[in-house]
Amino acid sequence: MSVVAFIDTRGSKVPKASAEALTYARRIADAEGGDVVAVTFGDAQGLGALGAHGASKVIVARHVKHVDGQQLTRLVAAVAESSGAKTVVCVHDATGKAVAPRVAARLKAGHVPGALDIPENGQVKRNVFSGKAQAWVLTTSERRVLSLMPNSVAASSDGGEAAVEEFTGDLGAAGVTVKEVKQAGEGIPLPEADIVVSAGRGMKGPEHWGPVEELARTLGAATACSRPVADMDWRPHHEHVGQTGVAIRPNCYIAIGISGAIQHLAGVNQSKVIAVINKDPEAPFFKAADYGIVGDAFEVLPKLIEAAKKLKAEQ
């Protein structure tokens, strides 16, 4: 049975989460004996290369330039109909959240938001209670929509070239117009990062972020921050991780000067390894950490940077 994977391909290279979604779709298609049809939009060139991650065919709607949930839902539903797919894979991110629930409602399909693994006996694992538990969701409808949590499946890239087809059908008018995109630009997008260096109020002020950024740069990590830091405008809001900010699940989360309130943990407790640096030995974060250093951030950071530089020089 074919699997349809709706992915975002905007930007200079294939977003990591999109490669993961194609790999995920490929694993489901292999288990069921079918093809993966990638569905995307916008101007990206070289889409045949998506075959490397598992796509057999790519269908692109060139005339859709931005995320319009209504147009993209019509697109994905049309491809799901024409390819006879029973499974639609999306990414549980800013783009997918605008489209996946709509596709599910349109196709009367069960939706699994934030799927962590491929279905087992029709059941898909996901996080619930803000990461404090996991649940298995059984879809009972004829079709299903699975929104893959970024950083849950390692992207493979051993496939060949995919055929690319342009979608020329009518997708109706856009309901939402994008007036402006303010890009912070530099650095690794936080939800995609394998390593995240995050800092909190313990840094005492925005002027002290230099070493945090230097450590992140050395490790090839993204930078993040706690809620008070974003609220005081020490750091941009899109860096705020936690319950009210972004929820992330990197391989490695290094938290400096963050106490680890339950609301912060809710956004980072899915990280594979957590290292905490805090001068207060009673900071709750140490209970959730794999590694800890009780010490002053301003004394510890230079030592970490030095060790990271040494490690990178050896590699």
Cβ-based nearer residue to other proteins, 162 or 275: 275
Q: Output the six-digit token pair for 91.
A: 């990414």
Cβ-based nearer residue to other proteins, 44 or 164: 44
Cβ-based nearer residue to other proteins, 162 or 297: 297
Question: What is the closest distance, in whole angstroms, from the C-beta atom of residue 131 to other proteins in the complex?
Answer: 8
Cβ-based nearer residue to other proteins, 3 or 109: 109
Which of 121, 301, 98 lies closest to 199 in space, CA to CA?
Answer: 301
Instruction: Name the pairing type of β-strands 87-91 and 3-6.
Output: parallel
Question: What is the closest distance, in whole angstroms, from the C-beta atom of residue 299 to other proteins in the complex?
Answer: 7
Cβ-based nearer residue to other proteins, 163 or 176: 176
Question: What is the closest distance, in whole angstroms, from the C-beta atom of residue 139 to other proteins in the complex?
Answer: 5
d(Cα 35, Cα 58) in Å, to the nearest integer?
11
Which CA distances in Å does 81 have to 26, 29, 106, 202, 306?
A: 19, 16, 11, 54, 56
Instruction: Name the pairing type of β-strands 252-256 and 195-199.
Output: parallel
Question: What is the closest distance, in whole angstroms, from the C-beta atom of residue 137 to other proteins in the complex?
Answer: 5
**Order of all β-strands in the sheet with 87-91:** 123-128, 110-115, 144-148, 87-91, 3-6, 36-41, 57-61, 163-166
Question: What is the closest distance, in whole angstroms, from the C-beta atom of residue 132 to other proteins in the complex?
Answer: 5
